[in-house]
Structure 1
Amino acid sequence: MSGDIVLYDYWRSSAAYRVRIALNLKGLAYRSESVDLTSGAQRGSDYLARNPQGLVPALAIDGHMLTQSLAIIEYLDQTRPEPRLLPLDPALCAQARARAQVVAADIHPIANLRVLNVLRGEFRADEAAVQDWIHRWISAGFAALEAQAPQTGLLGGAAPDLSDVCLVPQMYNARRFALPLAPFPQLVRIDAALRELPAFAAAAPEAVQK
């Protein structure tokens, strides 16, 4: 395994934020190439050649171009296994994946920029309706995670796992869209503890904004 690692990134993308956290946790040096989603750079021919979906992130690593944040993070965990983000025990691994997918499969895809722009444009939703939509789906996912969250420690226990890596960017989005977080005290506690860790702090949008 050799060569530069290049992350095709956007500072406020929660999916790219997950990958930044994972790269930092693994102690991997990488170069970030910004893909400005607000200007439509993700739809340019050069970027579509890297990722035909026109989404961020994409990661150039080990001679591969990888897409989809959870797939990228699992690749990192398989090729650079320390510290582990997915437990070796099959049941614990399935549980970590399930918690991560509450965010990555159930919340994020229906509250991301593409969907919100369709709501505003094609369905003529005003900003109050868009915010209600965002709050509904983040709240539903967070309620499920809150019910599974421990009273002490992180979602992954003593050390962050894949679900912790997914939680922090989604909490960032929740605050960005002014979701009341009082119903989710354990998630608030866990998020605060994670954001104190250097790998998470260095990946935060305010730390990488260009």
Structure 2
Amino acid sequence: MRWDLDKVAEPIAYKLLAATVMPRPIAWVVTQSHDGKLNAAPYSFFNVMGSAPPTLVLGLMADPTRGFKDTAANILATGEFVVNLVPEALVQQMNTTSVDAPTGVNELNLAGLETEASVHIRPPRIAASPVAFECRMLSSVVTGPHQTIVIGRVLAAHIDDRFILNAERAHIDTPALNLVARSYGSTYVRSHDTFELDRPKWAEWSAKNLK
């Protein structure tokens, strides 16, 4: 079956995308307004986009009544944000910060989360998160009414010492991070069920398969 997405209602387009593009890593984004108010919210339209320079991207959808969500408004106003990653131990707190609270409410306080100061930017990071990226906006693209894509340059990566296997070689105990990802609807995915697959090398592959 084919859906022409220009011809369907937005909720249908969202369902088709969210039900098929999965798992999606979760960016638990902390921002700060010009007047110092903190905001935290999770977003699963997110991924890394390069390493030279280190770059990540956020897809920030609109609030149905307020327009730009606080996260988008703060990033567009200040250019600064922190992306924290979500381990399974913090899923309840993460879910609390997704509440549709009024503008100006500090979701970090609602979830009982402590923060630690960032080094390069004003917004703090979530202390309990095992991984946090301090980011400054490189650019943004408004893709619809109050919907925007934000491209951020990663200025610093904070990783809990417990998960560092070899700091010099940047070897991380990734399975031990126990991160979760978003799936369809209200379903989440754990990161335990993995398998290995070596990337083929042309010389070996062609010698074997192009005879």
Higher strand share: 2
Q: Which has the larger radius of gyration?
A: 2
TM-score, length of structure 1 as denominator length: 0.25
Higher helix share: 1
TM-score, length of structure 2 as denominator length: 0.25
